[in-house]
A and B are shown apart, each in its own frame.
Chain A
Amino acid sequence: MKNNSENKTKKGPNEKLEIIEKLRLENKELSKQLARVNDKLKGSEKFKSNFLANMMNEIINPYTSIMSLSKNIVELGRNDWDKAASMAELIYSEASDLDFQLNNIFVAAEIEAGEAFTQISNIEINGLIQDAIDKIKFKAEKRNIVINVEYIVKQGKQKEPLNFTTDYSKLRLILTNFLNNAIKYSNPGGRIKVLAVVENKKAKITVQDFGTGIEKEDLNTIFDRFRKLDSDVNSLNTGHGLGLSVAKALSDILEGEITIKTERNKGSSFTIIVPEAEPDDDTFLSEGDEIIF
């Protein structure tokens, strides 16, 4: 009996080595896991710093322009109305940029707080597209980019009203971000095509550019926040990479789907398909098999 119990507690040298080897392997695997988590943390810190640096540009640049242009207007002589008008136009363009950037930041904050509540109404898609273009056209004009809108509508009539039920401001912000992206990746003097179709209770809107395109491997990270593709110092593309992650999250809220087609140096097209929103069913009939918890 004594021998048996000794056998149970005392391990043979081979058995001990086996356990040590097992622990060593487990330790190695855990170290690897830790390294992977550390890499991810370092990565997210880097994205955060990129984000802050980019944000500074996005906000401070237009803000500085607005300050100096308005100061110039204040100092203008009484008869320089022409100059004042052109400066006011520049102020408006810079302020619109600031408005667009801040709107993305506020909406991202709402989404992250779980407070991006939907406001469903009957809208007209042509008007919504034009509204989105108006919000961003100052950027296109700066780089001589033309935005063409094409509608494919039922009965083949041009500009037939495309009525649809959805959240107007959410869909508009998705489109504005698509357009902003298309402008960024277009070559100066280029063109952008917007195509809208409503069929089978779904709206499909595509924004196509003919610019630099996106590398296939970058497509997986395109919706990450803080991420901006082509983040070289010399890159002409500005932006804090928040826009597309906002577009993706808004599309999720509208139960939509975003698809991207892209080819290097030929351009990209971003498509959003959203189903018609159904009214919230907030009725709760008391009859039937109800259980109380």
Chain B
Amino acid sequence: MNDTIKRYYLHPSSLIVCNSPTEIITLLGSCVAVCLWDPVKEFGGMNHFMLPLWNGQGLTSPKYGDIATEKLIARMIKLGSDKHNLKAKLFGGASVLFSDNNLFNIGERNIETAKEILERNKIPVISSSTGSTMGRKILFNTKTGTIRQKLIKKNN
């Protein structure tokens, strides 16, 4: 049990799926991370997106929730998951303190986007920690599917 497990720091606008046991760590403010876990094959992946929907401009990168979540599901399937087995956990989407009009309610909208896409794909959200004004640091064990969370002061 004391074998050293790989640890990976996930940056915003990125996603990763690991089919060997890995601890994925990320830091969230208004950003949202969707963690997908396959309890049958015992592996998982995480995205970390900043804005809800791609607006048709720039690259179709996983900076946007719709793209990041669809891509995460596709990557899990590509690495051998059956979509029906997938379980989701949702984190982040805190309210940010500065009030830029464009960024109004961004955390909440990020969460809604993730939920909608997961629902459309019939993937159940089995637990979540979203909203509030605190940032979060999460650590996802892709083998066991457990996620450890700590609340932190982070406002973006």
Contacts and interface: CB of A to CB of B under 8 A. Distances in A.
Contact of B146 (A112, A248, A253, A292): A292
Interface stretch (B51-59, B100-108, B111-119): B51-59
Given A113-B71, A114-B68, A252-B63, A293 B57 contact: no
Contacts of B9: 280-282
A178 B45 CA distance: 35
B15 interface: yes
Given A114-B61, A292-B146, A44 B56 contact: yes
Contacts of B27: 281
A245 B11 CA distance: 19
A282 B150 contact: no
A112 B59 contact: yes
Contact of B150 (A118, A252, A289): A289
Contact of A114 (B7, B15, B148, B150): B15
Nearest to B72: A114
Contacts, number: 90
A245 B62 contact: no
A234 to B, nearest CB: 27
Interface string B69-110: 001000000000000000001010000000000000000000
A115 interface: yes
User: Interface residues of B: mostly helix, strand, loop or mixed?
Assistant: strand
Contacts of A12: none
A117 B151 contact: no
Interface in B15-66: 15-16, 23, 25, 27, 47, 56-63
A288 B59 contact: no
A223 B57 contact: yes
Contacts of A248: 58-59
A249 interface: yes
A117 B56 CA distance: 23
A114 B54 CA distance: 14
Interface string B134-156: 00010100000011111100000
Interface residues of A, number: 31
A252 B58 CA distance: 11
B69 to A, nearest CB: 11
A224 B58 contact: yes
Contacts of B89: 293
Contacts of A224: 56-58
B148 A292 contact: yes
Contacts of A225: 58-59
A288 B148 CA distance: 12
A249 B58 contact: yes
Contacts of B59: 108, 111-112, 225, 245-246, 248-249
17 contacts: A108-B59, A112-B60, A114-B47, A114-B62, A115-B16, A223-B58, A252-B61, A253-B11, A253-B12, A280-B9, A280-B11, A282-B8, A284-B137, A290-B148, A291-B148, A293-B91, A293-B147
